[in-house]
A and B are shown apart, each in its own frame.
Chain A
Amino acid sequence: MTVDRESFIKSKFREFYESSSSRIEAPPSIEMREFGFLLFKEKVMVRHKGFRDVESLRSFLRGTVPLHAYYSAAYYVAPEEPMERKGWVGADLYFDIDADHIPTPCRKLHDVWVCRGCGFKGRGTHPAKCPICGRQSFTEKTWPCEVCLEAARRETIKLVDILSEDFGLSQSEIKVSFSGHRGYHVKVESDEMKGLDSAARKEIADYVTGTGLDAKFHGLKATEGGAGPLAGPHLGDSGWRGRIARGVYDFLLKADRESLEEIGLRRKVVETILENREAVVRSWDSGGPWGILRGVGLQSWKLIIKKGVEAQAAKIDTVVTTDIHRLIRLENTLHGKTGLLKVAFPTDEIEVFDPFKSAVAFKRGEATVFIEEAPEFRIGEEVFGPFKNEKVELPLSAALLLLCKGMAEVAQ
């Protein structure tokens, strides 16, 4: 970050915290939480901070103006002590869904990588080795694009569905927020969850990601002691049974030769499935396709189910869910990579929530920036770009997004 750009961003962040720190609310039991802040200066992380009340937190934010602000999902007896003396009491259950964990086709349009050895640039996911100098190390620039965020939204919807249907959590217990960058956070603050240890959280993470699923426990079996035709779960079944069936249904409805071969099915099996697609679709009206295709056996169905499960599972960052000491971005604070806010919204609004409207912190003002390169993007109702080597006057929120992303400089 050049000094100009950094001090410009910091001055805007300062204005925000001076005028809007009252929007920041205390997490439950604020006195038991650890806070952490990433400072502009030298990108230092200040951890192990504690606040007795929300006013002292707000005044700290106004005085310090951090690039990022975090609090612990955990509750401690003494949050300001070093880790081993904090006295862990419990932690909220957290799920992090980040587009970085979801492969989207648009990544090759907007994500840029630069070789750390020779500076060679490319788009999409970086290669294993730099084609020019052979180094295996790259810096990456991602982009909070609408397609990626839409993919993250789909994952969040699947997660919320699993949490409410299977785990029996109510809409009011499940709290969803936009992270301010490329994803969503889902938290459950109930006393019930607080005491769960890391092993229990791992089981929950495995449940939502479909990890370790064995279809034989969900109804997939050979009837009559192994000699008869196969039987399996049905579309309307609850829990993972139904998800398996729906995942398989979706996959077989659209799968072409290539995608069937890709999952490791033998050529003969692929032929049989393609020839009988009609019958497969109709079979769901009765017992499902499990026993109707000659030559498609248990092993083949397991491969197909694996694919179906992948589609039905929610792609969360498992490390966040299993870490009982995790620091989480504080709601209604600015994300240093975008200048957007982390904002919560009612769970039932997830289908219609618009991050590029609701998370905009700076609603007034303009700035003139020089943009090296930026994809097309939207803030509110307005669409900007794409830009390449040009000087433009933009609404402040749009300018800050590019500045924070390192795609633009403040024009003199």
Chain B
Amino acid sequence: MNLVLTKSDWAKYPFVPEATEYIKTLDLKVDSLARPEFEPILNRAESRVKEALLTNPPKVSYLEHDDEVELSSFPVAVLIATATADEFIKKRYALAEARRAYELLRNEDKWKVREVAKAFGWRVNVVTNGAPVPRIYDLKLHFVDFLRNVKAFHESNWKLINRTMLNGEVYLTTQEAARLLQEEIRRHIEAKLQAGVGFTLPPNVAKRVEELRRIRRERFRGAPTIKVEFTEKTAVDAFPPCIRRLYEAAVSGSHLSHAGRFALTSFLLNVGMPPSKIVDLFRSSSDFNERMTRYQVEHIAGLRGSRTKYTPYACDTLRTHGLCPGEEKLCQGIRHPLTYYRRKLMASAKKTRSADQE
């Protein structure tokens, strides 16, 4: 069965290629946005971005009764968001539009979801009766398309190993497919927003852009970024079990795998240990080579080569490389060894403080 997306579908999903094609035929020009008959489109475009800034989590509502305005206001909203030249506004707007699409898609039937997915080049099919899998699934998606969109999800039900996969296809419910599509749509819109605005906007449009910037400044001014400073002296006691084990191995001169060395070094650098101290740490290793070790540590610190400072492995990656010795109580609900370290430091700081007061 093949289904065609109609104009009211385009109003819901204005980023699909067919919708873009249709909008092109309307011959909307930036200059014409100054004309009064385009006022409703411009209003709706502005409200799309504005709503994304004023709601939390960010959303864009779907106005069911005016397909034409819903559809053509989308590219105008993209234009306005781009013109703000503000990365925060762009990211927030892309997320809001993607969430809007998700809310609509999750209530569609599987055939409709498949059509939208195919618009993004997904290799996706409807599950037929008699497939040798549990009956709850509606769609099956090529694993490469699945993996591209699953990165932001950390729940164990999204891990590839916990999916039903057969012949390269990952089985999904309609709702799950919609959730993955949200990611694809978010990236798609973010990419659209990266194009520059190479022309002058009419004054009535520029005014709206300025208004959005004002909202952004007021609403999100100086939002305090939560940051815990690591103490200068690295607190070995606060190391998570994985790092503690690697640290002890290094101190005693036992053999560490490459992945183990990387995990330890990048962690120590991130908790503020100076590179020279880390080099010293590996000194008791029998195959220690000062020049080589210094080079590698400084490389990971971002002082050499590509100049990128590496972030330490997350728990998931430590597990992949067999470096996780198993969870401790404090590990529960934590995805990164640095989080463990920070929490333990904060807990022990609290303890010291209350001890001082007694």
Contact = CB atoms under 8 A, between A and B. Distances in A.
Contacts of B307: 84
A36 to B, nearest CB: 16
Nearest to A163: B168
A217 B156 contact: yes
A150 interface: no
Contact of B162 (A82, A116, A214): A214
A103 interface: no
Interface in A36-55: none
Contacts of A237: 132
Contacts of A203: 147, 150, 159-161
Given A84-B305, A137-B255, A318-B322, A207 B164 contact: no
A241 B162 contact: no
Contact of B164 (A116, A205, A210, A239): A239
Interface in B81-136: 132-134
A167 B170 CA distance: 9
A209 B148 CA distance: 20
Interface string A216-240: 0111000000000000000001111
Contact of B306 (A83, A137, A239): A83
Contact of A238 (B132, B143, B159, B168): B132
B252 A136 contact: yes
B254 interface: yes
B296 interface: no
Contacts of B253: 135-137
A167 B161 contact: no
Interface string A268-298: 0000000000000000000000000000000
Given A82-B305, A212-B319, A206 B285 contact: no
A199 interface: yes
B169 interface: yes
Nearest to B287: A137
A195 B169 CA distance: 18
Interface string A197-213: 00110111111011111
A168 B140 CA distance: 13
A159 to B, nearest CB: 14
Interface residues of B, number: 41
A193 interface: yes
Contacts of B287: 137
Interface string A79-91: 0001110000000
A4 interface: no
A196 interface: yes
B151 interface: yes
Interface string B221-255: 00000000000000000000000000000001111
A201 B143 CA distance: 11
B166 interface: yes
Contacts of B306: 83-84
A214 B160 CA distance: 11
Nearest to A164: B167
Contacts of A196: 144, 147
Nearest to B306: A84
Given A137-B253, A169-B168, A214-B156, A83 B305 contact: yes
A128 B254 contact: yes
A204 B144 CA distance: 10
A128 B320 CA distance: 24
A191 to B, nearest CB: 10
Nearest to B134: A219
A218 B162 contact: yes
B55 interface: no
Contacts of B258: 319
B214 interface: no
Contacts of B132: 237-238
A213 B151 contact: no
Contacts of A166: 165-168
A390 interface: no
6 contacts: A166-B166, A196-B144, A202-B317, A206-B319, A237-B132, A319-B258
Interface of A: 82-84, 116, 128, 135-138, 165-169, 192-193, 195-196, 199-200, 202-207, 209-214, 217-219, 237-241, 318-319, 322
Given A166-B168, A217-B162, A241-B164, 7 more contacts: A116-B286, A136-B253, A138-B286, A168-B166, A168-B168, A196-B147, A319-B259
